[in-house]
Structure 1
Amino acid sequence: MKPETNSFSFLVSAYILAAMILQIMRVPFGDSVYLSGLNQLLLLGLVLVSFRYIPAVRENALLAILALSHLILLWPLFYHALAGKRVEVLALGHLDNLKFVLPLTLFLLVKRDCWSLCERARRIMSVLWFLIAFGVLFGVIQEFLPDLAVAFSSSDEVRLQYRHGILRVPSYFGEINAFARASFLLIPLAILLKKNVLFSVLVALIGMSLAFSRQFILGIFLSAMLSWLLIVTRRLHLIPKLSLFSLSSVAVFLIYSLGSFVLMAVGDDDKILTISERYIRTAVAETSFSAIEDRPLTGVGPGYFGGNIGKKFGITEDLYGYGLLEKVPYFDLLGVHYTDTLWPQLLAEYGVLGGLSFLVVLFLWLRRISTAENLLFRFAGYLCFFQLIFAASVSPVFNFLYFSVAILVLSFILSEGSD
C-alpha cells in the first residue's frame, strides 16, 4: 500500500475518534461554542485534505452527477437572495446542511484504495470501540447510581428521566441520545475489526436500552431487515428487485408509523413515546408539504424552515406561515422546541429538485456500499446507511458529527474491505 493511500484511512479514523472525544468533553464544558467550533474546524481540515486523495482523472459521469446535484442545491439560495431574503441566513443554512453532504460527496470521489484500513487506522478504531464499550459499562453503573447520571450530563437543566421504570442515562457522552448513537457504532466497528460481533451487538443493545432511545431500539431492527433484504435480492432482475424492495419499504414505513402510534397511546410523557414530540415531527412534515405545494421549485430557502440556523436567527416566517402553529400551538422555535426531523426540513428548504439532488447523492452512497465483496461488510455498510436514514427522520442528525461522519467513514472502509 502506498504511503499516501495508507495515510487517508488514518486521517479519517483520527477525525472520528477526535469528534467522539470532543463530544465527551461536553460533560465538563457543557454545550461550548468552542468545542463545536473546534469540531467543525477539524471537519473542514478533513474536507480540504480529502481533495489531495481525489485522482486528477475521475469517472466523468460520477463527477458530472455530483456537480449537477450541488448546483441544483445552490439554486434556492440564489433565488431567495435575489427575492430579498437575508443572505447570511441562506448562506449559513446551506453551509450547515453541507456538514454531511460535502464530506459524502468528496468521499465518493476519493480513490478507492485510500479506504483500505491501515494498521494505524485499525488501532484508532480499536480505541474507539473500547471507549464506547466502557461507556456502556459506565451507563450500567449510572443505572444504579443516579447521581452519576446527573453529574455526567452536559446540560445545565438536568432532571432524571424514567421510562417504564428504566432510568435513561447519558454514560459519559453528555446526552442520553448521544449515548445511543455511540452505542450503535459498536456494531459496524466490531464487524470491521473482526471482534466478537454477537457480544458487540449485545453491548450495543444494552447501551441503547439504557438510553431508551426509540429511534435506535426500533431503527436497528428495521435497518437490519432492510440490509438483509438488499443482500438477498442482489441477484434478482431489476423489476422483481424494485417491486420487492418497494413493498418491503412500504411495510417498514407502516410498521414504523403504526408502532409509533401504538406506543404513543400507552401513556404520557414518561412512557415509551412522548406525545408532544410525535406531534411536532408529524406537524413539521405536514407543514413542509404545504410549503412545497406553494413553492415546488424553490422551496423556502435554506435556514428558513427551522434547524440550527432558523433557531439561531429566530426565523419563523415560513415555518409558522405555512401553518405549523395551527397544528401544534405550543411550539416555540425561539424557546425549547426544535423541528427535530431532517428530511422534511430539507425538502421544504430546497424544493422538489433539491430533494431529488439529496436522494441522488444518497443513492450513490448506497451504490458504493453495494460493491463490498465481503457479505458481512456489505451488511454492516447497509446497516450504517439505513440507521442514518431512520435517525434523520426523527432528529437533526447532521449536527452530530461524532455519529454522522463516523457512519460515513465506517461505511466507506467497509465497502473497500474484502477479507
Structure 2
Amino acid sequence: MKLAKRVKALTPSSTLAITAKANALKAEGHDVIGLGAGEPDFNTPAHIIEKAEEAMREGLTKYTPAGGLGELKKSIINKMKKDHQLEYDPSEVIVTTGAKHALYNLFQALLDEGDEVIIPTPYWVSYPEQVKLAEGTPVHIEGKEQNGFKITPDQLKEAINENTKALVINSPSNPTGAIYSADELRQIGEICVQHDLVIVSDEIYEKLTYFGEQHTSIAELSDELKARTIIINGVSKSHSMTGWRIGYAVGDRDIIKAMTNLASHSTSNPTSISQYAAIAAYDGPQEPVEEMKRAFEDRLNKVYEKLIQIPGFKCEKPKGAFYLFPNVTEAVEMTGFESVDKWVEALLEYEKVALVPGSGFGSPDNVRLSYATSMDVLDEALDRIRSFMEKHQK
C-alpha cells in the first residue's frame, strides 16, 4: 500500500522512541531507569478521582458537545480570570483530547500550504510535525544557550517574511524549563502586532515555576495581544492527569469555532468522565498542585547540583517545568562517541539509563533528563551516568 506523503514526511517522536526502547529492555528483565517520560510521577489527586467515579455512577458517560461541556468551559473561564485577569466567552473556548489535540486542530484550522510558523529551538518535538501535517512550513530560530534558550526580538524580526503566519511560544519550556519574562514577552508581542502574526502560546507547564519565578501569559499584557493569541493549556502537567487527556484552547472565536468543527468530524467530544474530573481539578482544592510543585523544586535543586559534577556536563539551571537540558558535547568527546545520539544509545545499552537526545528538540548538543520521578531513582540514574563516563573516558 502506498502511504500519503504527509505521513511519510513525519519524524517519529524521540521521546516515545526512547521510552519504547527502555520498555523493551525492561520486558527482557533489565533494570532500566527511564528519564524520558514527560509526566508527573504523582497520582491524580483523590478529589478528582472521586469526581470521576461519581460521574460514572450517575450515568454521565454519554456524548457531550464536540467542543466540551459547558460546565467545564465555565471552569476554564473562571481559571483564566483568576490566574491571568483575562475574560473569555464560552464561544472562545474549546475542550480537547489533550493539549496536543488542541495544537493539532489549531494548526489545521489556521494554516494553508506555504504558510510559515516560527518555532524557536529547542522546541517540543510535535510542533514542527503538526505544522507539516497542516501543509505549513516550520521555520526555526535558535534560542541560544547563552541567552537561557530564549529568542530575541532581533532574531524574530529577521525570520519574518510575507509568508509568516504565526509564532509559537512555550513558556515554561519543554525541554529547557526556560521562562520568558513579561518584558521579554512584551517586546516579542509588539513585533507580532506589527506583522499581524497569530501567537500560539503553549502554557501547559504554567503551574510548575520555581525560585519565586512567576508565569506570565503573553495574552494578559494588552488587549491587542489577547486578540491575536491562542492559549493552549490543560490539566495533564498541573494536576498529574496525563492519561485523562483533557486540554483546551482559548482565543479568537472564529478560530475556536473552526477547531470545534474539526473536532466534530474527528474525535467528537473528549471523554465525558475526564471532563467531569477536569471540572473538579479546576474548581476543587489546589493544595495538591502546590505540593507537587514543592517536590519538583526540591528535586531540581538536588539533581542539578549532582548533575553538574559529572565530567563533561554543562547545564543552565531551569526555572520551570520538570526537565534538565544539559549540553553534553564535552562528555561525548571525552568518551569518543560519534554524536550525542550515539552516546545516548550507549548509555542505555551499558548502564540501562534512558535519556532523550536533544536532536529531537532541534538541539543536537543536549540531552533531556526528566526529574519527574523519585529522588532515589534520580540518585541511582546519576550514579550510573557518572560510572558510564568513568568507564568510557578516553
Q: Same fold (TM over 0.5)?
A: no
Richer in helix (by share)? 1
Richer in strand (by share)? 2
Please classify the TM superposition score into its range, dividing by the shorter chain length: 0.3 to 0.5
Question: TM-score of the superposition, structure 2-length normalised?
Answer: 0.34
Question: TM-score of the superposition, structure 1-length normalised?
Answer: 0.33
